[in-house]
């Protein structure tokens, strides 16, 4: 089960990454054109795939053999890949998901359209950057 979850998580990261690029581009396009988009398809798909990725990530966290190693000696494990995946990757991804959801909520609020577009685009960009920095790019790009 663990290997299937890992393969799914790996493949889905590409969909999340590409949908994130599309969502950020859509939001900045709305800012530049001064066009109000409450919830574009790109953001809906991005957040939906992020949520599925989070669910698979939580399952990986539960079933991971690395978790018991990391919690046995957390001080020494932070310097290697295990510590990164168990602690840093998990926390940064949750922060990115919260930011993406916050951007989505703000896009539906009733206040100044220009400010709303700018704040939404900025929050989604920051979330995407956090997501991009916390993806373990040194791992196999495709794991089947």
Domain boundaries, the chain: 2-134
Please give the backbone phi and psi of residue 40, each rounded to the nearest 5 degrees, phi first: -70, 160
Outline where DSSP puts E strands in 51-104: none
The whole-number pLDDT of residue 76 equals: 62
Contacts of 39 (CB under 8 A, 6+ apart): 104, 107, 108
Inform me whether the pLDDT recorded for 75 exceeds 70: no
Q: What is the pTM of this model?
A: 0.84
pLDDT at 24 over 90: yes
* pLDDT above 70 (res 130): yes
Q: How far apart are CA 11 and CA 132, in angstroms?
A: 15
pLDDT tens for 83-129 read: 777 778 889 999 999 999 998 888 888 777 888 888 889 999 999 99
Residue 143 sits at φ, ψ, to 5 deg, of -125, 115
User: What is the mean pLDDT of the segment spanning 136-144?
Assistant: 70
CA 116/CA 12 separation, integer angstroms: 30
- Higher-confidence residue of 137 and 139: namely 137
Residue 83: what are its φ and ψ, rounded to 5°?
Answer: -65, -40
Give buried/exposed letters for 4-31 (b at 16+ CB in 10 A, else e). ebbebbbebbeebbebbebbbebbbebb
pLDDT at residue 3 in the model? 83
Largest CA distance in the chain: 53
């Amino acid at each position: 089960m663990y290997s299937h979850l890992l393969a799914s998580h790996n493949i889905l990261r590409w969909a999340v990454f590409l949908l994130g690029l599309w969502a950020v581009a859509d939001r900045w396009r709305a800012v530049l054109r001064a066009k109000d988009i409450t919830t574009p398809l790109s953001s809906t798909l991005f957040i939906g795939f992020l949520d599925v990725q989070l669910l698979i990530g939580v399952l990986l966290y539960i079933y991971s053999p690395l978790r018991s190693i990391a919690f046995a000696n957390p001080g020494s494990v932070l310097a290697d890949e295990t510590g990164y995946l168990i602690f840093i990757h998990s926390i940064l991804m949750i922060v990115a998901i919260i930011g993406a959801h916050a951007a989505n909520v703000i896009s539906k609020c009733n206040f100044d359209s220009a400010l709303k577009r700018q704040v939404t685009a900025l929050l989604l960009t920051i979330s995407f950057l956090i997501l991009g920095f916390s993806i373990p790019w040194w791992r196999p790009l495709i794991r089947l």
